[in-house]
Amino acid sequence: MSAVVVYVHGLWLSGAEAVLLRRRLERALEVETRAFAYSSVGVDVSGNAWALRSYLAKIPAPRLHLVAHSLGGLVVLRMFELIASEAPVLADGLPPGRVVLMGSPVRGSEAARRFARWPGGRRMLGRTAGGVLLAPAERHWPSARELGVIAGDHAMGMGRLLGRMPNPSDGTVQVTETTLPGATQQLRLHVSHSGMVFSAEVARQVATFLRDGRFTEMSA
């Protein structure tokens, strides 16, 4: 086994939605892929971050990469924040590898704030999203691992039901909400929020970053 890629899903999902993405990464990189499932509603972000760390610590692999979509990126980010606060001068104790966040609203989410104002909206968002998305935030990447950030600007999807976004978006998350200081590279693609996990171009770019530590120019 050359490496393992762990996928971390978004709000209300299970990881099953990323079967096609995982298969494409397996073919492109000759790696094993796994999906980390967590409770995006019933557990807060720190609880899920600790669970992710425990899950990763049990994977015997020479290299370990992380790919997260949407809220999953906040769980990954929180895990590395907790590790950094625990031992800021030490390595994270995991095998070496790279990280890609896809459509993750690391600076908070206007769509989530609007949804929370609907009757029952805050309850539906649950503890993970409700704890990290409702207030604008200034976060930075706290790890020495190379990080690639992908944002979409094809404004299609359920998020549009909440009203027009003031900035370019993937239909749910604004491009500006994905910006994370400290990232190695940030890439903007013409994909929608849910469409990211099905896009061949996104899969190609993720594979390239995990392999080389850089995205490439878009294919024709």
* pLDDT tens, position by position, 106-147: 999 988 888 888 888 788 888 888 888 888 888 999 999 999
Cα separation, 117 vs 161, whole angstroms = 13
Cα separation, 23 vs 90, whole angstroms = 34
**The model's pTM:** 0.92
Domain boundaries, the chain: 4-212
Only one residue has tokens 């990189």, namely 29
* pLDDT tens, position by position, 9-41: 999 899 999 999 999 999 999 999 999 999 999
How much is the pLDDT for 219?
A: 42
Lowest mean pLDDT among 60-64, 136-140, 182-186, 202-206: 136-140
Two structure tokens written together for 163:
């009203």
Q: Which are the contacts of 217, defined by CB distance < 8 A and separation ≥ 6?
A: none
Residue 160, classed as helix, strand or coil, is helix
Q: What is the CATH number of domain 4-212?
A: 3.40.50.1820
Two structure tokens written together for 169:
């978006």
